[in-house]
Structure formats: structure tokens, C-alpha cells
Amino acid sequence: MNYRHMSTTAVAQKTLQFIAAGAVILAGLSWALSAQAEETTNAASTETTPAPKATGVRPEGKTTRKEVRTDSKEARKDTRAEVQENRKEARTEIKEVRTEAKEAVAAKRAEVKETVKNAREDKTLKTPETKKVLEEKRAEIKDLRQEAKEKVAEKREAVKAENRTLLEERRAKEIGEKIRTHSQKLIERLSAAVERVETLANRTESRIKKIEEAGGTATDAKKSLETARGILTEATTSIAGLKAMVDEALASNDPKEAYTKVEEAATLIKEKIEAAHAKVVEAITSLKGMSTTTKKSEESKTTTSQ
């Protein structure tokens, strides 16, 4: 556009028009960007927050697990301190054994020197009697050293065995505590899942009664609900048996291996709960479209409207 032939007023008006148009465009862009950001935030929150399942297993309580870890840490610390104390005592006893052996050997050597000295003075050093005495004393020195060596080895093995027992007992106790805590949470989650399905079944049964009172029929729903309750009864009985299985696992020689049976049984119970939930959902689905309003009330409404 050529501004040379336009007046100052016209140029100012055109400038104001351009500024106003630019402001409108900028406002539109700002609104579009804010809307897009809001959609992105909503989408992200939807993706990161999945809907909970009706029969899902609830996560373990972090507080209990934290307490178990703390107790295990303290148990390891105590065991480590006890092991170190045993080693310290063993080193002290070994040192005493070696000192005693050293002193005994030194005394025997002194006796040998004294015997040799006396034999030289008496000129009986090479006689069979003197040689026999010297051999016996040297044999005694050798026996003292061997005895000290065996005592040291025996003490070391005893300390190793004692420390090994301490560690095994601590590990067994730690495994037992973990199994006990995990099984307790597992039983609580399974029991809670059974209760949720039972609550849903009770609500469905209440709706069936209302439909039947209104003159409707819900044969399929009642059959599905009856099957679900039977499965829930089996699951409840299995949960009670699960507690006994946990006690047996803890009392066994290998609790960790025995606990695999508990986990297998828990998996079967979970499958039963899911099957019961599926049957309740099946009953609810079959009730769709059925009215809980009685025929008399419908007729009265029709008469009133006429």
C-alpha cells in the first residue's frame, strides 16, 4: 500500500486498524494454545490414572513392609555384633592357647638344655640313657606344639559353626517374618475382594427382588447370582484353609519352599473370586432394560394423564 498520497489522519486510522487486527489474532492464538495445553493435561491425567478394577488385588501396606524391613535390619545388626563378639573371644582364647604352648615349649627346651649340660659335665651325653631322655623331651615339645595347633583349629571350627548357626537362625527368622507378613496381607486382600463381590451381589439381589415385585422375571440373573454365591462360598472356605497352610509352612524345615504351595492356593482363590465377579456382572447385564416400577403405578399414571 502506498502511503505517500494519504493524509496523516488516514494513515493513523489504517495503523489503528492493523493494531486492532493484530490484537485479535494474538488473542485467538493465546486461547487456542491454552485450550490445547488443557487438553494435553487432561489426557495425561487420564492416562496416568487408570480406572480401578472391581476385583483387583489391593497393594500391600507400605507401613507394614517398612516395619518388617526395619526389624530385619535390626536383627542383622544384632547378629553381626554377636558374630564379631564370638570372633573376638575366639581370638583371645587362641592367643592364650598359643601363649601357654609357647611357655610350655620354652620350659621343655630349658629342661633339654639342662640335661645336655649335665650330661656333658658327667661325660654321659652320648650314652643310650641320655639320648633316650633327650628324644623323649623333644617328642614332648613336638606334642605340645601339635596339641596347641589342634586346639587353635578346633576353636576356629567351633566359632565358625556357632556363627553359621546364628546366621542360619537369623535368616530363618527373617524368612518366617516375611512369610507371615506377606501371607497376612494376602489373606486380607483376598477377604476384601470376596466382600466387595458379595456387596455387589447383594445389590444385584435387591434389584432382582424389586423387578419381581414389579411383575418382571429375572430367571437368568437369579441363576447367575446363585452360581456366583456358590463360588464365593468356596473361596471363603479356601481362604480359611490358607491360614492353616501358612502355619504349616512356617513350622516346616524349609518355609520358603513350603510357601510356594500357599502362593499356588492363593492364585486359585483369586481365580475363583474373579469367576464369581464375572457371574455377578453377567447377572447385572441380564437385568438391563428391566423396570422396577409396578404395573399399578403405571396404570394410575396413565389414568391421571387421561
User: At residue 214, what is the residue type?
Assistant: A
Q: What are phi and psi of 293, to 5 degrees?
A: -90, 135
The pLDDT, as a whole number, for residue 58 is 43
| pLDDT at residue 266, rounded to an integer | 92
- pLDDT tens-digit series, residues 117-142: 877 777 776 788 878 888 888 888 88
pLDDT at residue 177 in the model: 82
- The pTM of this model reads 0.52
Kindly state the cell numbers that stand for 195: 466382600
Cell numbers at 198, concatenated: 458379595
Q: For position 267, what pLDDT does the model report?
A: 92
205-258 pLDDT per residue, tens:
999 999 888 888 888 989 999 999 999 999 999 999 988 888 888 887 778 788
Q: Which residues are CB-contacts of 175 (< 8 A; sequence separation ≥ 6)? A: 255, 256
Cell of 79: 547378629
The whole-number pLDDT of residue 33 equals: 47
User: Cell digits for 102?
Assistant: 609357647
Q: Given this model, what pLDDT does residue 26 score? A: 53
Residues of the chain with pLDDT under 50: 1-5, 11, 29, 32-63, 296-304, 306
